[in-house]
Structure formats: structure tokens, C-alpha cells
Structure 1
């Protein structure tokens, strides 16, 4: 009964997010078409821009029968992150460009980004130490396969303005795998849209990355008007969610595959369906082996890191769809599954997931730059993964010391709006409701309100 009441309260708070944002927006009817502080050239052979993203989140105390080392803190808690990125690019020829991005981050997520599979702030990685680092550094070569061309919009990750309709793109260097895979224009960017890890990305996609979300590798992308297919080979971390990547491909590597089809299901409305697969080879622990060692009395609790050096395989699949319904309304859906005998290694502790939602642009209420979005997610664990956590095992995100299993259920809504200071300033109010946090029916539910300040330079 309490959960039903809190769920209804979350929906009410979601409505309050919208009405409060509208009230703030009415302070000044700011509807400038510019979305950046400075105008950017469409003709110069180089690119320079920057952005800053600040997120504050809080949650009140919530019920918990017990807690463990990796639990979401049952007491009232608050956290903030700030991430700033400098984007640079150089057009070396009409078919060759170089991208170099530099980043700095500080702060932390709620409970130091533990206790939830669907963590509430995508910016909250475990290495926000305030030191700058290279985020992206890649070359892109475009191989034309047709004479027909289309106009392309310039942006921080590509400055080429004309592309062949049919082409082969080759990217080599440092990047985030989700710069190219599992893209979705409705739920893809935590700086302007949703913030939850399992809304912005497919929670079951254990894509290769260091703690900050980046890797080294190569991507081959074939593009046609209604079809795309891409493949990537990349480095994987030496240990679960580690900062150091394994440089020797014989010891660890990752393959990523995606096919994208863009049928016109509704006349003159964009549709995309993407089919994803991945294979990761790394020194990963085995849940079955960890449980056996514990039951044999060789470890005090199951320890997924207590295993011999071994090159093991983890694989998974996903589907990702988006649909434009009108000029102002869009929808999305994702689903994913991964092999569950081996430990979650890169992204988060999810073995299967389903997510869906949509957004609506504020044109309906005469605020064309405003946007409201809502999403629902269900995350699940395999039987072995559940047993490991129930016996007191720890993952790199989860570990309540015990487990009364229930699927982790999340609702998130946000309202994004321009701030009437200058073009390029945006604010957002966000609300997340999580039932069975960390897959535990003995804890929660928890409500997480948040705010975001985003600046585009």
C-alpha cells in the first residue's frame, strides 16, 4: 500500500516538475533560436566549442530492512557533479577530419554512485577527481560510395557539412562506444534529456570503456539512405569498471555490432530501429565459481574477483527504436539481454532490461525551446547474479549484504528550458522514482529530485 501511495506521489511530483518549470519559464518569454552562447561558423575548416553540465540530486530518507557496503544510503543524501568539455575539430579535407576533446569533472553521485543498477546521474563516474584528461582523439575518413550527397549539420563530434548518401566511415582513435552505438535522439544525452544510466543507454549493453566511459579502438560504419551497419573493435579495462585499459588484445578485447534500418512507417516522419550485439573477452569472474568457493568455505563471502587469470566471454544483444509522431512528439523503446554467468564488467549490473518513453516539445504551449520527457525502465538480474548478491557478494555497484530480489523499476521525468540570461544557458528539473533499489524489495522505494544547469558555448 505504501509503495502504491509513493508511486502516485511520484506521478504527482512529476506534474509539479512541469508546472514549476512553466512558472519559471514565464518570467521571461525567451524564445531565441540560438542554442549556444557564441555563434559557430558553417564554413571554417576548424571547430571550437565548450559546454558545462552541473547536476544536483537529493533523496529523502527511505525504508530499508538492512544495508550493506554498496547500498544506496537510506538516510537523506545529496550529491552534485560538474563536467566541462572542450570540443575541437579540424577538417583536413572534404573526406577527412580529426576530433580532439578535453574534459574535466568533479563531484560524486549519490552514495558514491553505488546501490542502484539504474544510477540516477550519468555524469557521476567514479573518477571525478578534478583533473583534466583527453576524452576523445580520433580521425574520421569518409570513403564515398555514391556521387549523390546530402547536407550534414556541423557539431562537436563532426564538422563535415557534405556527405555522400552511400559511404563508408572509418573512425580510429579514442572515443566513447556510445558515440556510435545504441544512439537514440529521444533518450541519449544526459546534458539535455534524461539523466538515468539505464534510460540514456541500454542497461544490458556492457560496452567497453574505462571508468570515465572511453576506450581506444576503430569503427567501420556503412551508411545508406535507409540503412546502416557498423562494427567496432576496442580495448577493454583490466578489471571491472577500472580506469586502466588492457593494451594487449590477446588478453582482452571487445567486438560491437549494430544494424540500423530507417523505414518510413509514418509518412514524412523519422523512424529508426537498431539491432545491437557485443562480445567481450576479458579476465572476468564467474558467479557460479565464486559461489562454489564460498560454499566450500574458501572465502568468507562470495568474491567475484577471487579467481585465476582467465580469458572469458560475455556477450549480449539489444534492440533500440525511435519514432517521430508529430512535429512535437516522439517516442522511444529499448530492450537488452546479456550472458549472465560472468560478472558485469564495464557499464552497470544489469542482465536484462526494458525501457520506453517519449518527449514533447514546448511548441504546444508556445515555448518551442522547452521540452518535457518521461521514461519507464525495468531492470533484472539472472538467477546466479541474484544468488551471488543474496549470499553477501559485492559487485562494482551493488551489494546490500543480502537480497530480497525484485526487478528494479524506475520512472524518470524531466523538463528542460532555456534560462533568460543569454543564449546557451539551459536549466532542467528532474524527478526519478525507483522501486526495489538495487533489486531489493527490502529497501525503498526512493524518490530522487534533481536540477541541472547546462551551458553551451
Structure 2
């Protein structure tokens, strides 16, 4: 298995955080109390993931294929969350981060990629990124007063039930849209990309998952209406963002909060529209056939649109048990711009706390997801095309990608958690000729 010993500086940072976090957390708590809103806060997190795949059947492979040999990769990141209240309702946050490591096969080979902690870029040495720098203004509009718990990128205080929240700057679209209490955090719950977000949500982002833009949230009773506009990257799936919204994405979401059997739940409907230079799959195949050259999506890119819509459900069914489900569809005639090679998806799962076996701070999660692509997308891959994550050079026997993931998150010492994760992937990259695939991971995580 391939290993990267230079990851140990990042692991050392995680250990330091475990030692220092009680004192740091206490200092942050002093910024506010139960009566007054916090005026400032400092939080931190460190995560290390060691993930490996077993050898699997592979009669052939292409440029974007997962290596069929048994391989292992590691990722690590350390993030600082520093925030301050500038005036009533106004917060500013900055999140500098140190990242290191690689995803399996350099984050290629599976449309529902198995680690949300693996970016589309990787480095053996630690490197610095400013992932978030944004301001948030909350405007109270009336209703009952509700407590705001201190958290990462959130100061403790209060707000009214009806309110308007405006966020502007650099942050992640999933910070606001398509959130889910049981499947949304690769540092604490599921790892698979198509479980932590709906797989068809081709949200605006650089190669690390962040963008520049603004969002508004209007809370009224049991409803919330969200909308936002964000910069796409300059080139699909790239490291550099557009700066003038000449290539952009608009997102709208409506959330309904309810109680079922006396238990809280949420249902979200999310839609996006991207406008940028994208290629149509059939155009790329036709050009390759006419020219005799390899199929190339870059050669047929022009300014056009791609849209998608998804449903997202979370529901508490017992004090220690919650379930979730997502389903989405996106335009299958045009290449995905940022996220993953998925045109249709459906997923469902559960999250169970460990109180039943005397481990109330532990969590067991189990979920399944099925991803698929359009016929045009299938023809493109069969002709030798490559996408954001997949491309085996050919696709004579296509099939829906099927993924099962289970994890157990164990509370260890202080703020530290250790997770054990297993994923089974059938038809990776929509290819019946390769796989099935088994992937195991160990995750270390701490935050204050």
C-alpha cells in the first residue's frame, strides 16, 4: 500500500489540539455567558483519515480509473475558526486551514467518491488555505426568542423565530444549502460524497469545495426560503474561482419543518442553475467521430446552462434514532461543472446513538446510495471520455453505481473521536466490468 509519511506533521497538530483544547475551549466560553451574547469565539478542529481499498477485478482501466491493486491513502486537516460580533446581529468569521494528503487514486475512479475529506487536489507536504472569510447579518423580524448555541462559525446568543439572515464572502455552499442533521459532515458522520450531500447537487466551488458569493435566508414560522448567487470556477473542476460572476450559479431552497408523531423533522427542496462554459456530451462524441481524434469535452465547451433539483428529508423517530433520505436529478446532456459525475441519485440511511448499549456519545450510521447517469453521459464515457472523477477508457457494460456505507463513531479521550468506516461499492464508475470494491477507513477527529 502507498503511504505518505509526511502526513505526521498534521497528525502531530491533532495531538496538540487534544492536549490544548480544554484550555482553549474554556477561554472561548468566557467570551459570553448564558445572559449575554458572545462577543467573540475561537474554535478548532483536526481530522485524520486513513483509507484503503482491497484489490478488485479490473480487466481494463482508463485515465480516471481507480487503481485495482490494494492501495491506501491518508488525509489530514487542521482548521481554526475565529469569529467576532461587530454589532448586534453581525458576525465575521475567518477559517484558515492546513491540509495534507491524497484521496484514493488521487480522488478518481468512483462517482460517489468514498472520502469527503479528500479534495480534488493533494499534496504530500502540509499547505495553507484560507477556506472561509465571511460576514453574517441576522435581522430579527419577530416571534418567540430562540437561543443560538455557540458552535463552529456561530456565536452564542439569541434570535427571534422569524428572521432574515444574510451571508456574504467566501464559504461553502453546503454550509447553508442541502444540510442534514444525520448525513452532512465527513468529519463526524458519513464519508461518501454522495451521502454527505445529494450527489446531483453540482454546487459552485473551487477544487476544495469553497466559493465566493452571497446567500439570504428568510425564516417565517415553520418555513425557510433560501437563495444565493455564487461564482463558479474559471474552468470546470479547477482550483481558481471566477471573480466577476461572468460564470455563476443561482440556488434556491425551501425548507419545511414539521413534527411527525411528536418528533421533529425537516423537508427541503433545492434547485440550482449554473451558467458557464460547459460541453455537451453528444457534441464531444460527434466531434471525435468526425475528426478521428480522442473524445474531448473541452473542445466543445461554450456558454450554456445546467440545472438540477433535489429533495432532502431528515426525521427523528426516537430519542436516539434519526433517519434521512435524499433524491436528486440534474441535466444529463451537459457535463457536471464542479462536484461529481452523477445525473440521478437516491439515498437513505439512519443514525443511531449508543445509549442503548451504554455509550450515549457514540454513533452508528448505516446508509445506501444509488447513482446513475444519462444515456448521453453513458455514450460519452463509452467513447473514452473522462469526467470530473470517472472515466475507464470504455464502458461496454454500464450499470448504476451502488454504494453501502456503515460507520461507528466512538468517543475516546476528551474531545477526541475515533471512527471505523466500511464502504462496499458495486459497479464503480458505472462499470459492471470492474469491482465489486471494498473500502475501509479509520478516522481520528477532535474539535472544541
- The residue correspondences of 1:140-159 to structure 2 (distance < 5 A) are 140-146=136-142, 148-159=144-155
* Secondary structure of 2:44 counterpart: strand
Distance 1:326 1:60 in 2: 36
- Structure 1 partner of 2:210: 214
Aligned residues of 1:427 and 1:451 also touching (Cα < 8 A): yes
Higher relative contact order (CA 8 A, sep 6+): 1
Distance 1:316 1:35 in 2: 44
- Structure 2 partner of 1:402: 394
* Secondary structure of 1:85 counterpart: strand
* Structure with the bigger percentage of strand: 2
Aligned residues of 2:99 and 2:129 also touching (Cα < 8 A): no
Deviations 1:290-338 (A, max 9, x none): 0110111x25221111125x21100000000000011000000000000
TM-score with structure 1 length normalisation? Answer: 0.89
Mark the runs of 5 or more structure 1 residues left unpaired by the alignment. 1-33
* Secondary structure of 2:209 counterpart: coil
- The residue correspondences of 1:12-411 to structure 2 (distance < 5 A) are 38-39=25-26, 40-41=28-29, 42-43=32-33, 44-129=38-123, 130-146=126-142, 148-249=144-245, 251-267=246-262, 269-296=263-290, 298-307=291-300, 310-403=302-395, 404-411=397-404
Coordinate RMSD, CA, aligned: 1.4
Distance 1:160 1:89 in 2: 11
Deviations 1:186-222 (A, max 9, x none): 0010111000000111000000000000000000100
Distance 2:78 2:112 in 1: 23
Following superposition, which runs of at least 4 residues in structure 1 exceed 2 angstroms of deviation?
34-40, 126-130
Mark the runs of 5 or more structure 2 residues left unpaired by the alignment. 1-20
Aligned residues of 2:106 and 2:122 also touching (Cα < 8 A): no
Deviations 1:85-116 (A, max 9, x none): 11011012231111111112111011111000
1:154, distance to aligned residue in structure 2 (A): 1.1
Aligned residues of 1:82 and 1:107 also touching (Cα < 8 A): yes
Aligned residue pair count: 418
Deviations 1:326-373 (A, max 9, x none): 100000000000011111110010000000001100000011000000
Aligned residues of 1:37 and 1:456 also touching (Cα < 8 A): no
